[in-house]
Structures are given as structure tokens and as C-alpha cells.
Amino acid sequence: MEKKNLLSIGELSKITGVHIKALRYYDSLGILTPAFVDPQSGYRYYTFCQKAVVDAIQFCIELDIPLKHFNEYTNEAAPWICYKDLVDRGTNLIEEKIQIMQERLALLKTMQKEIERSEQSYQSHAPEMYFLPERACWITPYESRLGCDESDELMKKLIMEIYNHNFRLGNAGGLLLLRQEYNWKQYLFVDIDIKSFTAAALPEILYIPAGWYLCKKVESSNIHNVWNWCLHHIAEKKIELVIETELFVGNYTFSKPVLEQRCFLKE
């Protein structure tokens, strides 16, 4: 084969815009074999037709198609490149990415709304009514407050139970008061991702639908203090349950989070 009729690796790099190191890497993967390698110098040479192979490789990179699968779409010996399959695969990947980005955007907008609501609650000294989204909670009986060694130890236990049951953690935890006949029973809870919520029969899981909550910022953890303020605004019989959890303000302080108590109201 006449070298003068071939492109050196430097020339192929220039006309494709792909770095020489990348072209050598493609050779090491077995997806861009030089048409000729000078036995004395070791220099690589390529045919002009191989520019199409480089273009197809770049197409794969742009679409995040793994290069280890590139040989499924080409055959240098023939040679041919199955652009239809490449385009079909690329279309599927882009559609999957769009769906993921749309879900992430929806999550960010939800977080944005919650930050705005939390900031409003944080600035207010009086209870406010808010419509809050549905949630699924993993719960266990617990009688003390948040922020102590006992609650931290039990919270870790809940988190590991959630993990062992193949659920995804949500973004919140806290205290919960549930009405049981004529008494209220206290629990510690951790949110689980509502998308993975499929095991309604598990006794550890409590599902709370979206609804109206009477909310108020509190200075310290003690969920039973809710009765000191909420009964001035609403009758106890209208309260389904009470939650004490962290307030998701814009400037979040890990060492001393702001707490909010929420009374979930009957319809």
C-alpha cells in the first residue's frame, strides 16, 4: 500500500478535529484500525474513507453510546456503518435523558416551592395554613425529642431498615403524633421516596395523603407543645395527625436546623 495515497495520523487529526491521542485510543479499542502501519517508524496511516468511521465514533461520543459497543454498528472489513441503528439508539438515549431531566426539573421546582413556603413560615410568628404534598413515612414508636443521642441512634436504625427493604430515602424525618382511639401515640419517622412506595401492607409504613396543614415554626423539639398553640386556632377533633420536622429554609443550618410543627387537618 502506497503511503502517499494515505493520510498520516496527524493529517487525519486535522481534517476530523480529533486529537491524535484520541485516534490512538480508538485503535487500542479496536474500532479504528490503521490501514497501514510503517514497520520501521510505527507511524499510523489511514484511508480517506476512514474519516467516516471517526465521524461515527464522534457521533457515538456525543450521544453517550459506549465505544465498547461501537463494533455493533460498523464493520471495517466490509466496510459499512449502520447509521440507522446508531440514530435509533441515539434517539432512545436522548429521549431517556429528556425524561430524566424533566423529572429533575420537576423535583427542583417542588424544592423551590417548599423553600419559598418555608421562608414564609420562618418569618411568620403566627400559624399559617399550607397545602402540602403526599408523603410515605417509615415509623417506629418513640417518646423523646429530636436532636438527642437516642433519636439519632434510632434514626440511623430506621434508615438502615429502609435500605434493607430496598426503598429509597426521602429528604425528611422527625416526630409524629397519631390518634389512636382517644389517645395520641408518638413515633419517630423517616420519609421514603413516594415512587418506590409499593408495600402498603408493611406495618412500619404510614401513608399520608396531600392535604391542608396548620403550620408553625418552633424554637425547640417537643411535639406535645403543639397543643399550646394549635388549639387556639382549631379544635383537636379536626386534627388527623401532627408532624414535627425540619423547616427547609434557603440557608439551611446543619448544626441547628429550624423546626416546624404541622397539624394535618381532616377534610
Least confident piece of the model among 38-52, 62-76, 187-201, 251-265? 187-201
Q: Give mean pLDDT, residues 232-242.
A: 94
At 227 the pLDDT is 96
What DSSP assignment string belongs to 10-76? Answer: HHHHHHHT--HHHHHHHHHHTSS--SEE-TTT--EEE-TTHHHHHHHHHHHHHTT--GGGGGGSEET
Q: What are phi and psi of 57, to 5 degrees?
A: -65, -45
Q: How far is the first Cα of the chain from the last one, in angstroms, to the nearest whole number? A: 84
pLDDT at 255: 65
What's residue 2's pLDDT?
66
Cα–Cα distance, 3 to 112 (Å, whole number): 62
Tell me phi and psi for residue 225, to 5 degrees.
-70, -10
Non-local (6+) Cβ contacts of 36 within 8 A are 1, 3, 6, 44, 45
CB 147 within 8 A of CB 242: no
Task: Identify the burial level of 189 via C-beta atoms within 10 angstroms of its C-beta, where 0-12 means exposed, 13-18 middle and 19 or more buried.
Answer: buried
What's the rounded Cα separation, in Å, for the pair 160 and 169?
Answer: 10
Res. 195: pLDDT tops 80:
no
240 SS3 class: strand
| Cell matching residue 206 | 404510614
Q: What is the pLDDT of residues 82-113, one digit of tens each?
A: 888 888 888 898 899 999 999 899 989 988 99
pLDDT at 74: 79
Predicted TM-score of the model (pTM): 0.68
- Return d(Cα 230, Cα 205) in angstroms, integer: 26
pLDDT 10s digits, 27-82:
999 889 898 998 888 899 999 988 988 998 998 898 888 888 888 887 655 567 88
